[in-house]
């Protein structure tokens, strides 16, 4: 599995966009980029995933560079409830793949 590198922590003002970067320079062609987050005292929560095209859902947007060596998770209007640890995970996708969590980025949203 490709190794990912994320900043340890980031701060964001409430209502502003939170842009969380992830470096995955050794990603291979059949590996997807997944994002999960863990809000304090809860289980991890799926956010979004993508292969090479940008993706958007009701929670966030995922921007993957053309060479696929890095990506950015965007929370367009961060709220206090978005304070959490965000994990960027790169894995080959097939049914049932287990997740490999790194240290993630602790995002702190303040008012």
Partner 1 sequence: EAGVTQFPSHSVIEKGQTVTLRCDPISGHDNLYWYRRVMGKEIKFLLHFVKESKQDESGMPNNRFLAERTGGTYSTLKVQPAELEDSGVYFCASSQLNNLVYNEQFFGPGTRLTVL
Place of tokens 């998770």: 73
Cβ neighbors of 24 (< 8 A, separation 6 or more) are: 2, 3, 4, 5, 31, 33, 68, 69, 70, 71, 88, 90
Kindly tell me which of 31 and 82 has the beta carbon lying closer to partner 1. 31
**What is the footprint of partner 1 within residues 46-85 (CB under 8 A)?**
46, 49
Angle at 87 between CA 79 and CA 13, to 5 degrees: 25
Asked if 8 is part of the footprint of partner 1 (rule: CB under 8 A), the reply reads no
SS3 state of residue 76: coil
Q: What residues between 29 and 48 interact with partner 1 by CB under 8 A?
A: 32, 34, 38, 41-46
Closest approach, Cβ 14 to partner 1, in A, equals 26
Residue 102 within binding range of partner 1, rule CB under 8 A: yes
Binding site for partner 1 (CB under 8 A): 32, 34, 38, 41-46, 49, 93-103
């Amino acid at each position: 599995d490709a190794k990912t590198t994320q900043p340890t922590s980031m701060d964001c003002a409430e209502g502003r966009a939170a842009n969380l970067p992830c470096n995955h320079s050794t990603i291979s062609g059949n590996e997807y980029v997944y994002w999960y987050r863990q809000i304090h005292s809860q289980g991890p929560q799926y956010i979004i995933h993508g292969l090479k095209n940008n993706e958007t859902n009701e929670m966030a947007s995922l921007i993957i560079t053309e060479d696929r060596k890095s990506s950015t998770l965007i929370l367009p209007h961060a709220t206090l409830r978005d304070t959490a640890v965000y994990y960027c995970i790169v894995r080959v996708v097939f049914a049932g793949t287990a997740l490999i969590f790194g240290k993630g980025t602790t995002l702190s949203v303040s008012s």
